[in-house]
Structure 1
Amino acid sequence: MSSTTEQAPDRPAAAAAPNPAPAGRSWRGVRAQLVRLHFYAGVFAAPFLLIAALTGLAYTFTPQLDQAVYGDQLRVEKVGEAPLPLAQQIAAARSAHPEGTLASVVTPAGPENTTRVVLSVPELGEKQRTVFVDPYTAKVQGELTTWWGSTPLTTWLDDLHRNLHLGEFGRLYSEVAASWLWVLVAGGLVLWIGRSRGQRAKSARGVLLPDRGARGVRRTRSWHAATGVWLALGLFFLSATGLTWSHYAGDRFGQLLDAVKGHPPELDPLLPGAQPPAEDEGGEHAGHAGHGAAEESAKVDPAGFEAALAVARKAGLGGTVSVTPPENASSAWVVAQNDNTWPVHYDKVAVDTAKGEVTSHTRWADYPALAKLSKLGVQGHMGVLFGIVNQIVLAAVAIGLTLVTVWGYRMWWQRRPTREDRKAAFGKAPARGTWRQLPPVVLVVGVPAVVALGWALPVLGGTLLGFVVVDVAVGLVKRSRTA
């Protein structure tokens, strides 16, 4: 649950004001510290969460938006009886677009979809030119500048959600949101479920449903908290999966995968008996063939795509696949499944078309558990794992997070003093110094845990440290003025 919470929940809004922390160390100090953390974390992180929720909501429905905007390229006009050979479709694409080199060919996801012939064009940098071909007539239906298979619209919305089109600097916004989201949710749950006043807190109904009989700030708080309870699982999921591919926390996650050997198995693209190519002849990332091996890709016979696909089909690779030509004379063809909807299919094979055999094979079943969870988490975060159901759930969570954030700020506004001699735009913040009321065991266990957490999530640790420094400085200034 993001944004703010009130310090004195049962007072009228006009009189609400934070009480001084109780004297002596007790477990009441833990609640007081949570109130303070939840309040300031909400004020600081809520704008980032609101942006992430709105941009994520827009990104959720990119499959439908793509069909509406690029339907002429993505769909065939009339479904035929049987698709033409890949070689014929590739020849038609190359005739219309002879520029660049062949990077890969993606088979249609369904009978109404076009074949995608992907070209590496130097002036496009890391992006590609994708030519869409009717598999039944070999008619070229158009071309788009794509990024990892995403259309221009999807790429634009993806960049908006990840970095606000501000590049590496903009990625900090999304990492701040993901880093603080779970803290706000966990703190809000503890505060709402563990509140001691009133019988509603002791029943499931009091936790799961808002108090319709309440008025003012208490009514807003009940909607804020009860909605947060319903959203909690989804928000924890979005926070965790978002952090896995963030910049700084993502690096830490990569170190964890290294330590536990949790990376997916790697396909060996080298032909049996062949010598490994020099580094400047191309690496193992077959998906970018053409960038480092332009001459080799230019010599590729379109018939090789059909031969590689036939071998892969015999090896059990069904559904949508991407066929990538060899990067050099020592490498094999690579055919990889691209079925992201459950049940997923991510098998991959290296094919020697001269001998018509598979030289290397990686299977989804052989992925380590952590690699599987990471892959499925990303697909679920993007809304593609369970199709339209996944999209609806993500949309509901995004809308709910937006409402919770707005209600949090509304609580802060409702708690403002309204007397003529005490008017203010917002309510007062919770009292400082609550850490002095924490039991010793909480400090002994909590401080090392926070330090470890700050290392694992550097953006969370850095922003928390910044808050502590500012808070201490403000306290010193106030103390000197009082003195």
Structure 2
Amino acid sequence: MHNYFRPSLNADKQLTLVQASYPQAHISQYLPPINPERSAQFVLHNNGRELNVFINPYSGAVLGQQDAKLNLQAVARALHGELMIGTLGDRLIELAAGWGIVLVVSGMYLWWPRGQSAAGVLWPRFSRRGRVLWRDLHAVTGFWGGALLLFMLISGMTWTGFWGKQYADLWNQFPAAMWNNVPASDLEARSLNSAARQTVPWAMENTPMPVSGAHAEHMGHGAHSSGPAAPGVSLQEVYETATARKVEPGYSITLPTTAEGVFTIAVFADDPRNDATLHVDQYTGEVLTDVRWQHYGNVARATEMSVMLHEGKLFGSPNQIAILLVCLMILLSSVSGLVMWWKRRPQGRLGVPPLRHDLPTWKTGIFIILALAIAFPLVGASLIAVWLLDRLLLLVRAKQPHEAHS
């Protein structure tokens, strides 16, 4: 049961007060307070900066402002998603995650017991010393942490700009009939999301943004599709729509920016079963689309659940503690792997540990790598690039002795 309450000042009055405090700003989003103790929030663009402005919903006092892109949470999101360098950063993150998947899968193959006892496989042999103990620490923590790390990597890949988009386009589909009577623009709902701010759920990112005014030509707005927004309904009316439709508190209302734009009510809930995305005609107040959990397909539901587990939100503190333990296990596995390499490195120098020359071709390993390279194209492209570079370096090194003798 949702606990709805009405602040002393309605949304329109709050909007007016913020506009008075920031007369040159363009207001893009309103976030109503989620409970009686919380402030309301407006997102606005002022003098080239995006700001979060907080207002007391009872007195109307502006409580403060925050840089929307340079606060700690926004910076962490941007670093995690695209290293704060845009598309290039997104591709690098995707590449790292893809190779992380390769390492986990190949590591699991190497770990596979093949008739060994459980000691050294499911738990370390602490009675042993030296390289054996370090090998056990690496393998055991890698196994227990690796399975969950694989889940974290794959769930994170669904947000990437290249693989994630292909995944969404292939698997995240809604019945076409849902949009049969909805005038749509060329924009997708993903345009409402950014590296620093999440507005609509993942399941909605590749859905079309509806168009306002298609059924309101009699209001005189139909001829101004390329002009600025001039809503015929108020922010308070949109707020009332969200309340009437029982949207989970914590939602945002994104304001239209053009004459064709819509109000978007969206909540990216900690529990995806409370997700909601509503597009509202800015002239008539008609709800053009109202998409909830029950409208998601099975893949979208599984993805949304995995994303919330990935972010540590679905089960609160236990979820976050579990992720912390996974991170610690992977850290221990990484450190132990580094120690193993150090102990086996060529004597007195850095390099690859010696390998027996009578080993057969690792056919299963090659198959695993090729399959993952196909499944994750950036991994495949980087694999080819490294192979070509390796061939080139070998050719250069092979020519050097001949040149020295000539």
TM over 0.5: yes
AA in 2 matched with 1:366 = H
Matches within 5 A, 1:249-268: 249-257=163-171, 264=204, 266=208, 268=210
* Distance verdict in 2 for CA 1:479–1:267, change over 3 Å: closer
- The Cα of 1:221 is off from its aligned counterpart by 0.9
Q: Distance in 2 between matches of 1:334 and 1:273?
A: 18
Q: Partners in 2 of 1:357 and 1:407 — Cα distance?
A: 60
Conserved 8 A contact 2:213-2:282? no
What corresponds to 2:361 in structure 1?
Answer: 437
The CA deviation at 1:255 is 4.5
Q: In structure 2, what is the equivalent of residue 202 of structure 1?
A: 117
Please give the alpha-carbon distance, in whole angstroms, between the structure 1 residues aligned to 2:287 and 2:117: 63
Asked whether 1:154 is paired with 2:68, we answer no
**Could you tell me which residue of structure 2 aligns to residue 349 of structure 1?**
278
Q: Which residue of structure 1 lines up, in the alignment, with residue 381 of structure 2? A: 462
- Whichever residue aligns with residue 457 of structure 1, its letter is F
Q: Which amino acid aligns with 1:370?
A: V
Structure 2 Cα separation of the partners of residues 256 and 353 of structure 1: 32
Q: Paired residue for 1:399, among 312, 323, 328?
A: 328
Structure with greater helix percent:
1
- Letter in structure 1 aligned against 2:361: Q
Contact 1:210 1:219 in 2 (8 A): yes
CA drift at 1:352 = 5.3
- Matching residue of 2:245: 315
Give the aligned partner of residue 334 of structure 1.
264
Q: Secondary structure at the match of 2:210?
A: coil
Residue matched to 1:77 = none
Q: Distance in 2 between matches of 1:195 and 1:454?
A: 26
Shift of 1:307: 1.4
Q: Do the aligned partners of residues 273 and 117 (structure 1) sit closer, same or farther apart at CA in structure 2, a change above 3 Å counting? A: same
Offset from partner CA, 1:128-149 (integer Å, 9 cap, x none): 32210112222111112215xx
The equivalent of 2:131 in structure 1 is: 217
Q: 1:431 to 1:325 in 2, by over 3 A?
A: same
**Gaps in structure 2 of 5+ consecutive residues:** 176-201
Q: Is the 8 A contact 1:163 1:169 kept in 2?
A: yes
The SS at the match of 1:181 is helix
Q: How far did residue 384 of structure 1 move?
A: 3.0
Contact 2:43 2:51 in 1 (8 A): yes
**2:301 alignment counterpart:** 372
Shift of 1:397: 2.1
CA distance in 2, matches of 1:433, 1:95: 79
> Which structure would you say has the larger RCO, counting Cα contacts within 8 Å and 6 or more residues apart?
1
Residue matched to 1:240: 154
Instruction: Please tell me whether the aligned partners of residues 271 and 359 of structure 1 are also in contact (alpha carbons under 8 angstroms).
Output: no
Contact kept in structure 1, 2:94 and 2:157, CA below 8 Å: yes
Q: How does 1:90-129 map to 2 (within 5 A)?
A: 90-121=15-46, 123-124=48-49, 128-129=50-51
C-alpha separation in 1, matches of 2:224 and 2:213: 16
Whole-angstrom CA distance in 2 between matches of 1:257 and 1:209: 38
Structure (1 or 2) with the greater strand fraction: 2
Q: Is the 8 A contact 1:270 1:332 kept in 2?
A: yes
Shift in CA distance, 429/98, structure 1 to aligned 2, threshold 3 Å: farther
Residue matched to 2:62: 140
Q: Please tell me whether the aligned partners of residues 312 and 320 of structure 2 are also in contact (alpha carbons under 8 angstroms).
A: yes
1:435-454 CA distances to partner (integer Å, 9 max, x unpaired)?
x6356xx59xx65x755643
Structure 1 alignment gaps of length 5 or more: 1-79, 282-292
What TM-score results when the alignment is normalised by the length of structure 2?
0.76
Asked whether the equivalents of residues 272 and 359 of structure 1 are also in contact (C-alpha less than 8 Å), the reply is no
Cα distance in 2 between the residues matched to 1:242 and 1:364: 20
> Number of residue pairs matched?
366
User: Is the 2:231–2:282 Cα contact (8 Å) retained in structure 1?
Assistant: no
| Aligned equivalents of 1:163, 1:356: Cα separation in 2 | 36
Cα displacement (A) at 1:166: 4.2
Q: Displacement of 1:257 after TM fit?
A: 3.7
Distance 1:225 1:154, change over 3 A: same
8 Å CA contact 2:98–2:379 kept in 1: the answer is yes
Equivalents in 2 of 1:377, 1:277: separation in Å? 42
Give the 3 Å change call, closer, same or farther, for CA 273–456 of structure 1 in structure 2: same
When residues 94 and 306 of structure 1 are mapped into structure 2, their CA distance, relative to the original with a 3 A threshold, is same
Query: 2:312 aligns to what?
Result: 383
State whether residues 414 and 426 of structure 1, in contact with CA within 8 Å, keep that contact through their aligned partners in structure 2: no
Deviation at 1:214, TM superposition (A): 1.1
- Amino acid across the alignment from 1:144: Q
Give the TM-score taking structure 1 as reference length.
0.65
Question: 1:174 matched to which residue of 2?
Answer: 93
* Residues 228/260 of structure 1: CA separation in 2 closer, same or farther (3 Å cut): farther
Distance 1:100 1:313 in 2: 27
Give 3-state SS (helix, strand or coil) of 2:121's partner.
Answer: helix
- CA distance change for structure 1 residues 168 and 241 in 2, over 3 Å: closer, same or farther? same
> SS of the residue aligned with 1:202?
coil
User: What secondary structure is seen at the aligned counterpart in 1 of 2:127?
Assistant: coil
Match of 1:270 in 2: 212
The 1:138–1:186 alpha-carbon spacing in structure 2 relative to 1, beyond 3 Å, is: same
Letter in 2 for 1:179: G
Q: 1:273 to 1:154 in 2, by over 3 A?
A: same
1:377 Cα deviation after fit:
3.1
Corresponding residue SS for 1:237: helix
Partner of 1:75: none
SS of residue paired to 1:142: strand
2:190 corresponds to which residue? none
**Offset, 1:121:** 3.8
1:203-222 per-residue CA deviation (whole Å, 9 max, x = no partner) reads 3x542211101111111111
2:52 maps to a residue whose letter is T
